[in-house]
Structure 1
């Protein structure tokens, strides 16, 4: 069974240490983050299985962090908050939280809710690796391997590639790509063109004639996984020698 990686994002150092200690005693791998920006940086490097997020961070809005993490489609989210009105709870859940616990709370209830969320993670069993043959996307380490070589992608390029693959061949507009890949960004949708161009240079056989990330006129872009399947089939075909001694695919 894969280890469960939990990130605790809590501004109160005493509560953060206490929660982390109890989670570690329960057998979870735990990373501590003191605020919004530290958590964002940590999540860009590796998405946790479950993120426990305080809604009132000193350097940012915990609900906004929740909304950003929800767009990544990989982590369960558990909000802790001193705000206990129905409006506050609904706001947190609509932002993408899978559970919401108001402060103060008992440690046994906290751990029981954690266990319940982890059971849900193990039930859905989201893939940790997208394997398209010659292209492999590691969703935990946020690394990409193409034709046997690791490709150095920026966090923005990785998010863009992931969003394109999740569309399963459907074309996405620049505005939709911008919203899904970088929901916190306030930018011109045409910025997508720059990142697509950079991504093509890294994973296309011929970036001038792209076959993997295709432009769909008057719409945007689509991910063409079928071209990878064709390359996989060719690579797996056995090689034999003809009577003349020339290798041929059979």
Structure 2
């Protein structure tokens, strides 16, 4: 399973919700759980997760309507859970926008495999899609980055560092993790990261001495944010 993937579990049965949530968290996912569709929609409307697991028979805003609302704004993978097991019900669920359909009762192992498959597909498709993060616009297919209307000229390593940071917003990332994930080094001189962070700041920050986007968390690493607050 993709460690760190953000998953929303929308299920009105608290026992099912907790079992699924606990299982996914043990697998390394960051899970947010909701007991009804309206609460889930208000939360995910502002910040879409990497994948949703949605019970079809929700009180109030049901799973079908939740899927339709999500599909109007996002292609995020959706796995629908339901007690309605039958070909017509499965087809109907998929027509509402679900990517997969799992009937209750279900195996947690099967659910995990389906989550894995959906995350892999989404990752493969999303890897080259253009996206916007705050004032930044990124075109991964052509390895181009803009801040506002200005295109930034980045070296290969600067681009890879920027892409890793922008895809992990508001998270403190150690220099060791950056070496491992960007440089693919299990060990090495962490000052290499420091130098590249400084060079990257010179290109993306309005004032590199008072960063707006790429902050230093002393003794811990770096944190990228698309906000306007300033830090060291």
Distance 1:97 1:55 in 2: 10
Q: What do residues 85-130 of structure 1 show as CA deviations (whole Å, max 9, x unaligned)?
A: 2111111111111100011111111111111111111211254732
- SS of corresponding position for 2:111: helix
Residues 81, 128 of structure 1: alpha-carbon distance in 2 compared, 3 angstrom cutoff = farther
Give the corresponding residue for 2:11.
10
Deviation at 1:49, TM superposition (A): 0.6
Q: What do residues 182-218 of structure 1 show as CA deviations (whole Å, max 9, x unaligned)?
A: xxxxxxxxxxxxxxxxxxxxxxxxxxxxxxxxxxxxx
Residues 18, 90 of structure 1: alpha-carbon distance in 2 compared, 3 angstrom cutoff = same
Bigger radius of gyration: 1
- SS of corresponding position for 1:41: helix
Question: Where in structure 2 are there 5+ consecutive unaligned residues?
Answer: 139-146, 151-232
Give the corresponding residue for 2:119.
118
- SS of corresponding position for 2:79: strand
Give the corresponding residue for 1:94.
95
Distance 1:39 1:73 in 2: 15
- SS of corresponding position for 1:60: coil
Residues 45, 116 of structure 1: alpha-carbon distance in 2 compared, 3 angstrom cutoff = same
Give the corresponding residue for 1:130.
132
**Structure 2 residue 54 is matched with structure 1 residue 84:** no
Asked if 2 retains the 8 angstrom alpha-carbon contact of 1:80 and 1:100, the reply is: yes
Distance 1:111 1:2 in 2: 12
Aligned pairs (5 A) from 1:13-162: 13-125=14-126, 127=129, 129-130=131-132, 135-136=135-136
Deviation at 1:3, TM superposition (A): 3.2
Deviation at 1:70, TM superposition (A): 1.4
Distance 1:137 1:33 in 2: 31
Deviation at 1:60, TM superposition (A): 2.1
Asked if 1 retains the 8 angstrom alpha-carbon contact of 2:52 and 2:77, the reply is: yes
Deviation at 1:61, TM superposition (A): 1.4
TM-score, normalised by the number of residues in structure 2: 0.55
Q: How many residues align?
A: 140
Question: Where in structure 1 are there 5+ consecutive unaligned residues?
Answer: 139-144, 149-250
- SS of corresponding position for 1:80: strand
- SS of corresponding position for 1:58: coil
TM-score, normalised by the number of residues in structure 1: 0.51
